[in-house]
Each structure stands twice: as structure tokens, then as C-alpha cells.
Amino acid sequence: MKKINVIKKYREYKELFNLRKFKRNNLFTIYFRKNNYNITRVGLSVSKKNGNAVTRNKIKRQVRNILDKKLTYKENYDLVIVISYKYNINEYSKNEDSLIKLLNTLFSLGANNE
């Protein structure tokens, strides 16, 4: 994931949360909206309930890896992915399947409802 594809500002996270447009499953919640940048920008949010800083950073690395495999970053969306405390770093393939299913429903169903 390149730096240009990352949401960093607190204000942008807050705007996405306040829109309340999201898709959810047992491990992930994805807040989304259209943007005007012609690229997909992604922000990750991991709670302290997931573990210490080392564990949370490993979770973020795993999710970024999954996103780099799946997303083309060509759609014009802002996404904030909130990772549940149920996420288990030792079950990578299960986590990957869960996130990919959620992204597929988002880009096939949810994105058309704008």
C-alpha cells in the first residue's frame, strides 16, 4: 500500500464514521464513501482490545497484505477498516477469506447504492 492510498487525518476518519455507511461481518467493519481522488484510500483502526502494540502492528501488516492482493486501488473510494477484537493473527487464511468476502459485497452491492 503506497502512502498516497492511506487515510491519515483524524478529521477524515471522523467524517466516515459520522456518515454511518458501512458493511460488517464478525471480524471487520468497513466504513466507506466516494471520493474525488480517482484512487482508493484506506485507513485501518485496531483497538487496544486486540493486544499490545506489537500485536496490533502485526494485525495491520496482515490486513495491508490482504488489501494489496485484493484491491487495485483504481476505484474512487475512501475506506476505513475497523478490525474486531475477535481477529486471530494465527488464522491468516480465515481472516483473508472474511475480508475478501466483505470487500466483494461492498464493491458489488454497496458501492452501487451511492
Note whether 73 and 5 are within 8 A (CB).
Answer: yes
Note whether 87 and 50 are within 8 A (CB).
Answer: yes
Neighbouring CB atoms inside 10 A of 62's CB total: 17
Query: For the structural domain made of 3-109, what CATH number should be given?
Result: 3.30.230.10
Q: Would you state the cell numbers that stand for residue 53, as one nine-digit string?
A: 502494540
Question: DSSP class of residue 7?
Answer: -
Tens of pLDDT, residues 1-56 = 677 788 889 999 999 899 888 999 999 999 999 988 888 899 999 999 999 999 99
Highest mean pLDDT among 5-9, 91-95, 103-107: 91-95
Tens of pLDDT, residues 63-84 = 999 998 888 777 888 999 999 9
Exposed, middle or buried by CB within 10 Å (0-12, 13-18, 19+), for 78?
buried
